[in-house]
Chains A and B, each alone.
Chain A
Amino acid sequence: MTHALKITNLKKTYDNGFQALKGIDLEVKKGDFFALLGANGAGKSTAIGIICSLVNKTDGDVNVFGYDLEADREAVQEHIGLVPQEFNFNIWEPVIEIILNQAGYYGIERPVARKRAEELLKHLNLWDKRDEQAQNLSGGMKRRLMIARALIHNPKLLILDEPTAGVDIEIRRSMWDFLSKLNQAGTTIILTTHYLEEAESMCNNIAILNKGEVVESTSMKELLSRLQVETFVLDLKEPLDIIPSDCELTIHQRDTSTIEVELDKTRSLNYLFETLSKHNIRVMSMRNKTNRLEELFIKLVEKSKEENTSIKSTSSEVTA
């Protein structure tokens, strides 16, 4: 067994008849840092809910470190820690109580739980707030409280459903740092996020869900290598009136002193600058137009949208 999580043909139809998962397959290797991406409503939280015993599956199999969810639910539960998307602690309870109670549900005795809670809360900069009622914490602190709670039983697989939503830049960076260290120490991590930069910088493998289906599941490297062209935004030293017509690069003008240049993957940045110099275009600063992953993400999701509409139009032709 090399996987931390293996999902086979997982389906979920909610009571109202909505099919949130249409038979997904996923495999997350032991020790991996895995990104599960997808637009709002793609089915990420539904899949996570099933893995964590919060949602009943309609069909399919879930296996965690060799334990089948149906046959060995307790073992599966002992191995997973969950940071849910929505705040779900008792807001009237003090921070430390929330963590100690969670430990109790895993059968961890108080004295042991206390030591571990102190360690975790200190790591997550919440120790000063331990006696505060949870409702008095800021949004970012509440997220960190849920991370501490998820780790109290030392899970081998940590699942985080949008842990950085509403978290400021500094805390977000320290959270990334914390998670990276945790991952290096051997914890397998699955993360959903809408900040693709986050996924790109931390995750090794990635799956993209769209409307209840996996549209992509591969390594981050492989995915990024598929990017054919990269678009850069350049701020110019002198205003440019017209783009030279004989230029070998594809250039779009934003305004007189800003241009967007598309650069083929096979070309180097030197080539870009050489070409611009040749046409007397001087560059002050440059940046990526969008995050690289973001470009791919949008393409993949749009591609599956097109496929869906083309299927629909053929089927309507048949019925007509």
Chain B
Amino acid sequence: MKPAQKLTAFKTILSKEVMRFLRIWVQTLVPPAITMTLYFVIFGNLIGSQIGDLDGFKYIEYIIPGLIMMSVITNSYSNVVSTFFTAKMFGHIQEMLISPVPNHIILMGYIGGGMARGLIVGLIVTLVSLFFSSLTIEHPIITIAVVVLTSMLFSIAGLINAIYAKSFDDITIIPTFVLTPLTYLGGVFYSINMLSEFWQNVSMVNPVLYMVNGFRYGILGVSDISPVASFSLLAVFIVALYGFAYYLLKKGVGIRS
């Protein structure tokens, strides 16, 4: 395919993906807004008012970056895992497999779709948070870079999950048993300085901790982790997982018998 044709193919996949979650916005965009409003009310206002400052910030101010990040992660992941898996189950992935669209374009199209959903939800949650707290962003470029890279990383992860999934159960197992615990334990609600040294060390192997703290650094200027560590980790994971996803697609794992 010529570069112009590749671009057309990419735009096709991306816009198809974006149209899909926009068409069913009640299922894709509204739920995170509602859940996060509840989090803000309960953890931020009700319980938060009983908790003192954290790193010099009110509790609600401290958890807002974490909660935005949590929505971005889950929505990027679940967008790609469900749409790629459905394409596999109902067979319309074959429309792409028979055509000359390169694997890189398929990957980038789906990842782009997951990122679009994750980032739009992130924006919605940010807007909702304005009802509960004011927001000043300390380092805008870092903030945007971290959230974009994180949504990219979890879109790729969702795609890999979908490639291996054989049933609808398989696309909920990883989010429930891996993704949710990692996010909850990834410093969304607390600073790891509150933990004993042992648990602090255990927390350091959780990649989500680096992203949440990177994002919190961007917004508040405070973090348990150095921003350099956050970016390095994101870069390494993205390259590794993208390479792996490309390999799986090229081999036809789960999609070509």
Contact = CB atoms under 8 A, between A and B. Distances in A.
Interface of A: 14-15, 49, 52-56, 73-75, 77-78, 80, 82, 84, 86-91, 97, 100-110, 149, 153
Interface stretch (B11-19, B49-57, B143-151): B11-19
Contacts of B243: none
22 contacts: A52-B98, A53-B97, A53-B98, A53-B256, A54-B97, A54-B98, A54-B256, A74-B1, A77-B98, A77-B99, A77-B100, A80-B98, A86-B91, A91-B90, A101-B12, A103-B12, A104-B13, A105-B99, A105-B100, A106-B5, A106-B100, A106-B101
Interface string B89-103: 011101111111100
Contacts of B252: 56
Contacts of A15: 257
Contacts of A87: 91
Interface residues of B, number: 27
Given A90-B90, A91-B90, A107 B95 contact: no
A152 to B, nearest CB: 10
Counting chain A CB atoms within 10 Å of each CB, which of B6, B96, B97, B100 scores highest? B100
Given A107-B1, A107-B9, A84 B94 contact: yes
Q: Interface majority SS on B: helix, strand, loop or mixed?
A: helix
Interface in B1-40: 1-2, 4-6, 8-9, 11-13, 16
A-B pairs, top 6 by smallest CB distance, nearest first, are: A107-B5, A104-B12, A88-B91, A105-B99, A74-B100, A77-B100
Contacts of A78: 100
B15 to A, nearest CB: 9
A319 B21 CA distance: 64
B90 to A, nearest CB: 6
Given A101-B16, A107-B1, A107-B2, A88 B99 contact: no
A74 B2 CA distance: 11
Nearest to A106: B99
- Scoring A55, A87, A103, A106 by chain B CB atoms within 10 A of each residue's CB, the highest score goes to A106
A108 B256 contact: no
A161 to B, nearest CB: 12
Interface string B75-101: 000000000001100111011111111
Given A14-B257, A15-B257, A105 B94 contact: no
Max chain B Cβ within 10 angstroms of own Cβ: one of A15, A49, A52, A104:
A104
Contacts of A49: 257
